[in-house]
Amino acid sequence: MSLFSCKDKNENLVAFAYDPESVPTMITTSASQLISDSGVTRYKLVADLWLVYDKAKEPYSFFPQGLYLERFTPDFEIEATVEADTAWYYTTKNLWKLKKNVHVENMKGEQFDSEELFWDEKNGKVFSEAYIEIKSGLTELKGYGFESNQSMTDYRIFRPHDGKLPFSETAPADSLQSDSLEVEEADSLERMN
C-alpha cells in the first residue's frame, strides 16, 4: 500500500487581509435598478457608482457620486423623486441618509430642498434637523428641522424661518359687515315706504 500526499505548494500566492469596513464587496458603475416590495415594483434607482459594504458590522450601500430615485404607487405612478449628491443606505435599519443638494419632489409637485435628509423606510418617515425649503405653488416654507410621511404629503417644519405665503391685494369680503349692510338697506326701504 502506498500513501500519497499533496506536498505541492503554490509559491505564487500572496497573503491578503482586508478590512470589510473600508473595502467594498461589490462595485457597480452606471447602475440602473428596479426594486420590488412583495412582488410589486416600488422603486427605480440610478447611480453612477454604487459601493456595497455587506460584510461591514453595519452593512450599507454607498453612492459617492450621487443618486436618483423614483418611488412608485401600486399603479406605477411616480409618487416621489429623490436626488442627492451623496447617499448611504443602511441595510439592517432600512434607513437612507442623503447629503448635499438633496432635492425631493412629491406627486403634488411640491419641492423639498435641503443639505441633509433621512428616510426611515421601516417606520415610513422622512426627517432632518438641517435647513429645508419647501415650495408649493406660490407658497414657500423655510426652516430648521423637518418631519414627513414617506410620500412627502403630510409634513411639518419644527422651527420655521422666513417663509413666503401667497398675498392678495384685495381683502376678502367681511361676512359680518355685508350682513349688517343688508339689514341697514332693508330698514331704509321700510322707512321710505
The residues pairing with 139 across neighbouring beta strands, listed in sequence order, are: 136
CATH number for the domain formed by residue range(s) 26-185 = 2.60.450.10
pTM (2 decimals)?
A: 0.70
Query: Can you read off the three cell numbers belonging to residue 120?
Result: 426611515
Distance CA 21, CA 28 (A): 18
Look at residue 11 and give its three-state secondary structure. Answer: coil
pLDDT digit string, tens, across residues 51-66: 999 888 999 999 999 9
pLDDT exceeds cutoff 70 at 177: no
pLDDT value of position 140 = 86
Query: Can you read off the three cell numbers belonging to residue 53?
Result: 459594504
Percent helix, percent strand, percent coil in the chain, to nearest 5: 10, 50, 40
Look at residue 158 and give its three-state secondary structure. Answer: strand
* Domain ranges within the chain, ordered by starting residue: 26-185
Task: Specify the higher pLDDT residue, 68 or 174.
Answer: 68
pLDDT exceeds cutoff 90 at 43: no
User: How would residue 102 be classed by pLDDT, with cut points 50, 70 and 90?
Assistant: very high
User: How would residue 150 be classed by pLDDT, with cut points 50, 70 and 90?
Assistant: confident
Task: Specify the higher pLDDT residue, 182 or 57.
Answer: 57
DSSP 14-55: ------TTTS-SEEEEEEEEEEEETTEEEEEEEEEEEEEETT
pLDDT value of position 1 = 45
pLDDT value of position 107 = 85
